[in-house]
Amino acid sequence: MSHTITVRDKDIVVECEAGETVLDAMERAGFAIPYSCRKGVCASCEGGLCGGEAQVRGQGHLTGPQEGVKLCQARPLTDIEIAPARIRKVDPVERKVLPGKVRKIQRLAEDVAAIHLRFPIGNRAPFRAGQYLRVMLPDGDSRNYSMANPPQKNDALELHIRHVPGGKFSESILARLAPNDVLEVELPYGEFTLTEAVIPALLVATGTGFAPIRSIIENQVRSGAARPLHLYWGGNGSDDIYMRAAMEALAERHVWFTFTPVVSGADAGWQGRRGFVHEAVLEDYPDMAGLEVYACGAPVMIEAARRDFCAKAGLDPDLFFSDAFVPSGDAEAVPA
């Protein structure tokens, strides 16, 4: 049985099909609300359930009013009213499931591999810089990985995968993966994309959180835009900043691009900035009024950056955008 979803203080009413989540129904109707993992782990989609009842995976049977409801896991049981953190009208999302043939696997650092995929001739997968895809696993589970290439090149994809000890994909499957193997991928997903604003943006990454940010930067190079972008890329050691030379070369070629690598661990040979990456950003930008921030990678960095940038540097919380690389396997989602 379907139910209606009304958005508080907006003239928006959407039909939600039986079994559909609030996030899926809103997307189908052409409305974007914040999300990242879609697995109930990251909390990016949290919003209010103002009235009505919903079954929320991991949170149980909820009756409004309730705050902090994960709208990616919420299935209405009655007509409901919601208050998402943000909402905007977008074109309905058209996702594709495509076979990606492995063209090459490249080692970028000791624990980071790049997988280059190519789609069959005539197949393209449009996406926006900063978005991610789902790799479908043989057992029906899936993993999220961000596209590291610019969207102009959408008949082929590049993914940067960090090795997670014991990981189903990043250890077991990746160890056996070879050129000409096929990975089934579904895309595009994600809201971690630059807004239309022209104000300067700070890009903050740890480890492979660099992947979607690289896509954003390369997209700006190809489109000829000149929005000021300052990338801070943090790692435990200098090896974690695995495309440092390429970013330094880019910063020399484009006046709109600034690059600051930051190392937090004991790397004896490192001559550059030291400390936690978000603290380096705060030192350089004690006043963040009039800036946008895009942070991607370790959840702990993203939480610290969101908290400190807003509390200490006056960043508008609505101008902080993030993708936290939380575990994206189904087994990791909070059980119902």
Ligand X SMILES: Cc1cc2nc3c(=O)[nH]c(=O)nc-3n(C[C@H](O)[C@H](O)[C@H](O)COP(=O)(O)OP(=O)(O)OC[C@H]3O[C@@H](n4cnc5c(N)ncnc54)[C@H](O)[C@@H]3O)c2cc1C
- Which residues of the chain form contacts with ligand FES (CB under 6 A)? 35-38, 40-45, 70, 72
Residue ranges in 197-216 that form contacts with ligand X under rule CB under 6 A? 208, 211
Is 149 a binding residue for ligand X by CB under 6 A? The answer is no
CA distance 138 to 321: 32
Q: How far is the CB of 23 from ligand FES (least distance, A)?
A: 7
| Residue listed under structure tokens 């995968």 | 161
Q: Which residues contact 166 (CB under 8 A, 6 or more apart)?
A: none
Count of chain residues binding ligand X (CB under 6 A): 26
Q: Which long-range contacts (CB under 8 A, 24 or more apart) does 170-176 make?
A: 170/143, 173/137, 174/105, 174/113, 174/115
Task: Give which of ligand FES, ligand X, none residue 146 binds (C-beta under 5 to 8 Å, depending on kind).
Answer: ligand X
Amino acid making up residue 285: Y
- Identify which range of 12-20, 69-77, 96-104, 320-328 contacts ligand X by CB under 6 A: 320-328
Task: Give which of ligand X, ligand FES, none residue 132 binds (C-beta under 5 to 8 Å, depending on kind).
Answer: ligand X
Q: At 240, is the secondary structure helix, strand, or coil? A: helix
- Identify which range of 77-85, 121-129, 142-150, 255-263 contacts ligand X by CB under 6 A: 142-150
Q: How far is the CB of 326 from ligand X (least distance, A)?
A: 5
Is 169 a binding residue for ligand X by CB under 6 A? The answer is yes
Is 44 a binding residue for ligand X by CB under 6 A? The answer is no
C-beta neighbour count of 58 within 10 angstroms = 13
| Residue nearest ligand FES, Cβ-based | 72
Is beta strand 292-297 parallel, antiparallel or unpaired with respect to 3-7? unpaired
Q: Which residues contact 276 (CB under 8 A, 6 or more apart)?
A: 234, 262, 264, 301, 304
Q: How far is the CB of 269 from ligand X (least distance, A)?
A: 25
| Residue nearest ligand X, Cβ-based | 167
Query: 35 vs 259, which CB is nearer to ligand FES?
Result: 35
Residue pair 262/234 in contact by the 8 Å Cβ criterion:
yes
| Residue listed under structure tokens 């990985």 | 145
Is 292 a binding residue for ligand X by CB under 6 A? The answer is no
Query: 14 vs 147, which CB is nearer to ligand X?
Result: 147
Is 321 a binding residue for ligand X by CB under 6 A? The answer is no
